[in-house]
Amino acid sequence: MTLLHGLRVVVFADGLTDLGARMLSGLGANVVLAGETGERTPAQGQAWLSDLREAGPGEALATLLDGADIFLDGRRRRAAATDDPRDGRPRLIHVVANADNLRDLPVTDLTLMAASGLMTVIGEPDRPPLRLPGEQAYALTGIQVATAALMGLAARRRTGQGQRIDVSAVQSATLANYREAVMYAWTGRSGRRKGNLLVRGKSGVRQVWPCADGHVTWSMIDNPGMMRAVVAKMAEQGMAGELADVAWDAILVADTDQDVIERWQGLVAAFFAAHDKATLGRWSLDEGWGLSPIATLDEVRNSAHLAARGFWREVPDGQGGTTRLPGPLFLVHPAPGAASEEAAE
Amino acid sequence: MGALDGIRIADFSWVGAGPRATKDLADNGAQVIKIESRKRLDLGRRSPPFANGDAKNPDASAFFAQTNTSKWSATINLSDPRGVEVAKRLVEWADVVVENFGPGYMERIGLGYPVLAAINPGIILASVSVAGRTGPMAGFRGYGNSAAAHSGHAAMSGWPASDPHMPPFAYGDVVAPMFLTVAILSALESRARTGEGCHVDVSQIEPMVHVIADLFAADATEKPGNSDPRMAPHGVYPCAGRDAWIAIAAETEADWQSLCDVLGAGAMATDRSFATREARLRNATALDAEIAALTAAQDRHDLAGRLTAAGVPAAAVLDGRDLAESADLHASGHFVSVDHPVLGPSDMPAPPMRMSATPHAVGPSPCLGQHNEAVFRDILGMEAREIEALAAEGVLA
Reduced to 3 states, what is the DSSP secondary structure of residue B331? helix
- Residue A186 within a domain: no
Q: What CA–CA distance (Å, rounded) separates B343 from B41? A: 19
Q: Are B282 and B274 in contact (CB under 8 A)?
A: no
CATH of the domain at A277: 3.30.1540.10
**β strands within chain B, DSSP E:** 8-11, 31-36, 72-75, 96-99, 124-129, 198-203, 234-238, 245-249, 314-316, 335-340, 344-349, 353-355
Q: Which ranges of chain A would DSSP assign to H, the alpha helix? A: 18-26, 42-49, 61-66, 109-116, 136-159, 169-175, 180-187, 224-236, 258-273, 277-287, 297-301, 304-308, 338-344
Please tell me the predicted confidence (pLDDT) of residue A344.
43
Superfamily name and number for B234-321? formyl-coa transferase, domain 3 (3.30.1540.10)
- Residue A183 domain flag: no
Residues of chain B with CATH 3.40.50.10540: 8-213+333-392
Please count the other Cβ atoms lying within 10 Å of the Cβ belonging to residue A156.
21
3-state secondary structure of B61: strand
Q: What pairs with residue B238 in β-bridges?
A: B245
The total of other beta-carbon atoms located within 10 Å of residue A90's CB is 11
**B247 chain-A contacts, CB cut-off 8 A:** 110-111, 113-114, 119, 129
A146–B182 CB contact, under 8 Å: yes
pLDDT at B235: 98
Q: Taking a C-beta distance cutoff of 8 angstroms, is the pair B75, B372 a contact? A: yes
Cα A24 to Cα B132, B179, B182, B185, distances in angstroms: 21, 12, 9, 11
Q: Which of A152, A191, A305 sits opposite B320 (nearest CB)?
A: A191
Within a domain: A267: yes
> What pLDDT is stored for residue A80 in this prediction?
47
In a domain, A143, yes or no: yes
- Phi, psi (deg, nearest 5) at residue B71: -100, 165
Residues A100 and A59 in one domain: yes
Which residues on B lie below 8 Å from A220 (Cβ)? Answer: none
DSSP per residue, A204-248: EEE-EEEETTEEEE----S-HHHHHHHHHHHHHTT--GGGGG--T
d(CA B161, CA B327): 39
Is B173 one of the annotated active-site residues of the chain?
A: yes
Which CATH number fits the domain that encloses residue A120?
A: 3.40.50.10540
Range list for CATH 3.30.1540.10 in chain B: 234-321
Do residues A79 and A40 both lie within one domain? yes
Cβ distance A47 to B200 less than 8 Å, yes or no, reads no
Give A200 to chain B, closest Cα distance, Å.
10
> Which residues in chain B land under pLDDT 70?
none
Q: Are residues A72 and A219 in the same domain?
A: no
How high is the pLDDT of residue A233? 97
- 10-residue mean pLDDT series, chain A (345 residues): 93 95 98 91 94 92 95 72 86 96 91 98 97 98 98 97 97 97 96 92 89 96 90 97 94 88 97 98 95 97 98 91 96 77 46
Number of C-beta neighbours around residue A188 at 10 A: 11
Nearest of B172, B33, B12, B1 to residue B78 by alpha carbon: B12
- This complex has an ipTM of 0.98
**pTM as predicted:** 0.97
**B392: Cα separation from own chain's centroid:** 37
User: Residue A77: what pLDDT?
Assistant: 58
CA distance B157 to A196: 11
Rg of chain B taking only CA atoms, in angstroms: 25
Instruction: Clarify whether residues A166 and A207 are in a common domain.
Output: no
Per the domain annotation, does A191 fall within a domain?
Answer: no
How far away is chain B from the Cα of A144, in angstroms, using its nearest Cα? 8
- Contacts of range B249-252, beta carbons closer than 8 Å, 24 or more positions apart: B249/A108, B249/A110, B249/A111, B249/B313, B249/B314, B250/B280, B250/B312, B250/B313, B251/A38, B251/A39, B251/A106, B251/A108, B251/B313
CATH topology of domain B8-213+333-392: Rossmann fold (3.40.50)
3-class state of residue B335 by DSSP: strand
Q: What's the domain range around A19?
A: 8-175
Q: What is the tens place of the pLDDT at every residue in A250-274? A: 988 888 899 999 999 999 999 999 9
Distance between CA atoms of residues A78 and A325, nearest Å: 31
Nearest to A117 by CA among B223, B156, B320: B320
Q: Quote the number of domains for chain A.
A: 3
Of A133, A198, A217, the CB nearest to B224: A133
pLDDT tens, residue by residue, A166-222:
999 999 999 999 999 999 999 999 999 999 999 877 788 999 999 999 999 999 988
* Whether A25 and A104 share a structural domain: yes
CA separation for the pair B386, B37 (Å, rounded): 18
Let me know if residue A302 belongs to a domain.
no
Instruction: Considering only the beta carbons, identify the residue of B145, B182, B308 that sits closest to A150.
Output: B182
Q: Say if residue A155 is in the same domain as residue A25.
A: yes
